[in-house]
Amino acid sequence: MSDALEMRGRVAIVTGGSRGIGRGISQRLLDAGAEVVICGRVEPELLPATPERSAIFVAADVRIPDQIDPVIAAATDRFGRLDLLVNNAGGSPPAEAATASPRFSESILRLNLLAPLVFSQKANAVMQAQAGGGCIVNIASVSGVRPSPGTAAYGAAKAGLLSLTQSLAIEWAPKVRVNAIVAGLLRTEQTGLHYGDEAGVARVAATVPLGRLGEPLDVANACLFLASPLAAYVTGAALLVHGGGERPAFLAAANNT
């Protein structure tokens, strides 16, 4: 299995790859031997790295289509190919649907749905023209498969991303595989924004069947699997990485707990 997960000689782009889930994915790919190009609006002080190599950073706002081309070029000009695109950049601050402005909602949709579409189009053009094709992994969310109160536009965008994944998988087969990871409740730099202090985080973690919040490495390992030959017959799939989801509220209500 270790040989099947070897990424040496392969080239990956990870959007939003300098922090949170994206950093975990970038580091895991580097550890597996891949060359990794990451992008974001601000370069981090410390890039993901191994003793042999570090990720290459390209400043880009993925919401702006013209800024995507230099990221693609950074991979192809230096390494001659592009094997994996991980559409990870995304997110949303809390916002009540009743008062969210059209401009706010549009920006959330642009970041979480339109940017992955445009980036995928540009990556696909490279992958279709090269021997061996390539694969794309979209980082979705449980917000796209259940109600997302407080982040309604984000949930709608992630639901759209899951639909997009299925459509692109059909259109771009057989050379390019396209899959999604449905990420659950995770501990990142943004955890406090949504769950409050450590006591709040602990209460949220208790609702997860596996008894903890996910870590970026949990998503990174799933991403590595989808990019590997072990997933050679997997496309158009949505892999649930959510610790079993959330315990149904009626169980707690019925037991007065």
96-149 tens-digit pLDDT: 999 999 999 999 999 999 999 999 999 999 999 999 999 999 999 999 999 999
| Cα three-residue angle 22-28-183, rounded to 5 degrees | 45
Q: What is the DSSP annotation of 163-197?
A: HHHHHHHHHHTTTEEEEEEEE-SB-STTHHHHH-S
Closest CA relative to residue 13, chosen from 138, 141, 160: 138
CB atoms within 10 A of CB 1: 7
Task: Say whether pLDDT at 199 is over 90.
Answer: no
Task: Say whether pLDDT at 195 is over 80.
Answer: no
Q: What is the spatial distance between Cα 190 and Cα 120, in angstroms, rounded to a whole number?
A: 26
Structure token digits, residue 140: 């979705």
| Cα three-residue angle 43-154-225, rounded to 5 degrees | 65
Please state, for a pLDDT cut of 90, what percent of the chain lies above it.
86
**pLDDT value, residue 194:** 61
Please state, for a pLDDT cut of 70, what percent of the chain lies above it.
96
CB contact at 8 A, 181 and 136: no
Task: Say whether pLDDT at 190 is over 80.
Answer: no
Structure confidence at residue 187 as a pLDDT band (50, 70, 90): confident
158-186 mean pLDDT: 97
Task: Say whether pLDDT at 197 is over 80.
Answer: no
- Choice between 206 and 177, residue whose per-residue pLDDT is larger: 177
Closest CA relative to residue 58, chosen from 31, 32, 90, 26: 26
pTM of the predicted protein model = 0.94
CB atoms within 10 A of CB 243: 20
26-40 mean pLDDT: 97
Task: Say whether pLDDT at 193 is over 80.
Answer: no
Judging by DSSP bridges, how do beta strands 56-59 and 176-183 pair with one another?
Answer: unpaired
Phi-psi region of 206 (alpha: psi -120 to 50; beta: other; left: phi over 0): alpha
SS3 (DSSP) at 139 = strand
How far is residue 96 CA from its own chain's centroid?
Answer: 24
**pLDDT value, residue 1:** 45
Element (H, E) at 57: strand 56-59
Structure token digits, residue 247: 């315990």
152-170 tens-digit pLDDT: 999 999 999 999 999 999 9
Residues annotated as part of the active site:
154
